[in-house]
C-alpha cells in the first residue's frame, strides 16, 4: 500500500490497521522519519517536500513490488508526506510484515535506501534566512548500491 499525502499519520494506528486479523504475520518492522531541527551545521525551521502527483505514486508502487519480489512479505506500507513540514513532524513511514524477521528487516532497509536516494521527491530546507535544496548524501548512495547485486 502506498500513500503520498500532506496529512500527518499515526504510526501505531497504521501498523494496527495493516496487521489487523493477520495471523500469517510473525514479524513487523517499522521505520519512521522525522524532520530534524538541524542539517549539518545549519538550523532548519521548515522543510518543503515536493513531488509529481501520479508519477511519484507509480514509482513507489514499482519499488514496493520489487520488495515483494525479493522477499516473502505478507504486507507493506509506505506513507510519505509532502508540503511544508516543521521540525519534529513525521515525514515518512515504511512498514514491512513477513512470517519471519529477516525478510521484514531487509525489505524495510531496501525500501528506505530507495526512498533516500532515488524516489521522486524534492526537499528544500529553510533556516537562518535562506533556503537550500537537499541532495542525497554519499553514505545514502553507498547503502543503496548494495541492492544492485542482490
Domain chopping of the chain, boundaries: 2-132
Question: Residue 68: its pLDDT value, please?
Answer: 98
Place of cell 545514502: 140
What pLDDT, in 10s, does the model give residues 24-79?
Answer: 999 999 999 999 999 888 899 999 999 999 999 999 999 999 999 999 999 999 99
Place of cell 519480489: 69
SS3 86: coil
Nearest to 39 by CA among 117, 124, 142, 114: 124
Place of cell 510473525: 26
Q: Does domain 2-132 have CATH number 3.90.1170.40?
A: yes
| Inter-residue contact 109 to 150 (CB < 8 Å) | no
Distance of alpha carbon 107 from alpha carbon 13, whole angstroms? 21
Q: Is the pLDDT of residue 5 over 60?
A: yes
Q: Is the pLDDT of residue 142 over 70?
A: no
List the beta bridge partners of residue 46: 126
Place of cell 519534529: 88
pTM of the model: 0.90
Confidence of residue 137 (pLDDT cuts 50, 70, 90): low
| Inter-residue contact 116 to 91 (CB < 8 Å) | no
Amino acid at each position: 500500500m502506498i500513500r503520498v499525502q500532506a496529512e500527518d499519520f499515526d504510526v501505531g494506528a497504521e501498523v494496527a490497521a495493516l496487521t489487523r486479523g493477520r495471523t500469517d504475520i510473525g514479524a513487523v518492522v517499522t521505520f519512521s522519519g522525522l524532520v530534524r531541527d538541524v542539517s549539518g551545521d545549519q538550523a532548519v525551521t521548515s522543510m518543503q517536500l515536493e513531488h509529481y502527483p501520479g508519477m511519484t505514486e507509480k514509482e513507489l508502487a514499482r519499488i514496493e513490488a520489487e520488495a515483494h519480489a525479493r522477499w516473502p512479505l505478507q504486507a507493506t506500507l509506505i506513507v510519505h508526506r509532502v508540503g511544508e513540514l516543521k521540525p519534529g513532524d513525521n515525514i515518512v513511514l515504511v512498514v514491512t510484515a513477513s512470517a519471519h524477521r529477516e525478510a521484514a528487516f531487509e525489505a524495510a532497509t531496501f525500501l528506505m535506501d530507495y526512498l533516500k536516494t532515488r524516489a521522486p521527491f524534492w526537499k528544500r530546507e529553510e533556516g537562518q534566512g535562506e533556503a537550500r535544496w537537499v541532495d542525497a548524501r554519499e553514505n545514502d548512495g553507498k547503502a543503496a548500491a548494495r541492492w544492485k547485486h542482490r
